[in-house]
Amino acid sequence: MAESGDDPAGGYRTLEYAVTDGVTVITLNRPNALNAFDRPMKRELLAAVRAAARDDAVRALREPFGGDHPTLAEELRRLYNPIILELRRLPKPVIAAVNGVAAGAGASLAFACDLRVAAETASFVLAFGRVGLVPDNGATWFLPRLIGPGRAAELMLSGEPLSAARAEDLGLVNKVVPAESLAGEAMAMARRLVDAAPIALALTKRALNRAQEVRNGPGRILGARASTRG
C-alpha cells in the first residue's frame, strides 16, 4: 500500500492507480472476489483518494466501484465512512464508472460520486435487509436526494436489483453505454471536466453539497457567494 509521500501509482495490491492528462483513474482490482471490499481494499482506496486530493496536477477523479475483530460500527467509522467523506470533500469532480453489479458498499460508493456512467449490463442492489443489515455508507442520505424518497425506499426495502437503463430513467445514472465503451466514455467525461476552471468546479461542488443540507433555495444564494469569493 502506498504511504504518504510515496509514489501514489505504486504499492497497491487491491486496486490500480494511474494519472492521465489530469485525470486520476482508480480501478478496483480484486477480480477473483468480484471486487468485494475487504479491509486492505478499504485502506488502499482511502489512501488513493487522499493522494488524488493532494496532487495539484489532478483535476478529476474516475472510479470504476467480538474478539479481536472490530464491530460493524467500528468498521464503518474507521474504514468505510472516511472514504465516503473524502469523496464528498474532494474539491475535484468524481466520476463512477459502473460495470457489472454495484451492490451494498459498492453501490453506496457510486452514490457518493458526483457523476455516474454505467455499462448497459450494470445494476445496483441494496439487499441489506436480506442479510439483517441497514443500508449504510451514506446510502440512506444520498439515494433519496438522487431519486426521491419513495423510489429510494422501494429500492432499499425490496432489495430488488435496479438495471442501468432504469437507473438512467430515474436520474441516478447520467449516461448508459455499451460495456466495451464504458472506460472510454468515463474518460471522455473526465477530460471535459479537466478543461474547465478548477476553482469554479470546486466552488460549484461545494455549493451543490451545501444546497442539499440547507432549505429555502440555498443553491442560488450559495452560488452567488461562491462567485463573489472567487
pLDDT of residue 215: 54
- Phi-psi category of residue 76: left, alpha or beta, with phi > 0 → left and psi -120 to 50 → alpha: alpha
Q: Do residues 76 and 188 share a domain?
A: yes
Q: Do residues 145 and 202 share a domain?
A: no
Q: Is residue 174 part of a domain?
A: yes
Q: Is residue 34 part of a domain?
A: yes
Closest among 131, 75, 80, 88 to 106, alpha carbons compared: 80
- Per-residue model confidence as pLDDT tens digits over 154-186: 999 999 999 999 999 999 999 999 999 999 999
Q: Do residues 119 and 223 share a domain?
A: no
Q: What is the mean pLDDT of the chain?
A: 81
Q: Do residues 159 and 61 share a domain?
A: yes
Helix (H, G, I), strand (E, B) or coil at 8: coil
Q: Do residues 155 and 210 share a domain?
A: no
Asked whether the predicted pLDDT for residue 124 surpasses 90, the reply is yes
Q: Is residue 33 part of a domain?
A: yes
Q: pLDDT band at residue 79, thresholds of 50, 70 and 90?
A: low
One-letter identity of residue 32: N
In the chain, how many domains are there? 2
Q: Is residue 8 part of a domain?
A: no
Asked whether the predicted pLDDT for residue 39 surpasses 60, the reply is yes
Asked whether the predicted pLDDT for residue 30 surpasses 90, the reply is no
Query: Look-up: residue for cell 453489479?
Result: 101
Q: Do residues 93 and 27 share a domain?
A: yes
Q: Do residues 146 and 222 share a domain?
A: no
Q: 137 or 180: which carries more pLDDT confidence?
A: 180
Q: Is there a contact between 206 and 91 (Cβ–Cβ < 8 Å)?
A: yes
Integer Cα distance of 2 and 124 in angstroms: 30
Q: Is residue 215 part of a domain?
A: yes
Asked whether the predicted pLDDT for residue 216 surpasses 60, the reply is no
Integer Cα distance of 51 and 131 in angstroms: 34
Count the residues in the chain: 230
Q: Do residues 89 and 192 share a domain?
A: yes
Q: Is residue 10 part of a domain?
A: no
Q: Do residues 64 and 146 share a domain?
A: yes
Which domain, by its residues, includes 145?
Answer: 15-196
Q: DSSP letter at 79?
A: I
Please report, for the domain that includes residue 133, its CATH number: 3.90.226.10
Query: Look-up: residue for cell 486530493?
Result: 53
Q: Is residue 7 part of a domain?
A: no
Q: Is residue 110 part of a domain?
A: yes
Q: Do residues 133 and 218 share a domain?
A: no
Tell me the three cell numbers of residue 200: 469554479
Q: Which residues contact 145 (CB under 8 A, 6 or more apart)?
A: 212
Q: DSSP letter at 179?
A: G
Q: Do residues 98 and 212 share a domain?
A: no
The secondary structure of 127-151 as a DSSP string is -GGGGT----TTHHHHHHHHH-HHH
Q: Do residues 146 and 219 share a domain?
A: no
Q: Provide φ and ψ at 148, rounded to 5°.
A: 95, 150
Distances (CA, A) of 183 to 48, 94, 110, 117, 129: 19, 14, 15, 9, 32
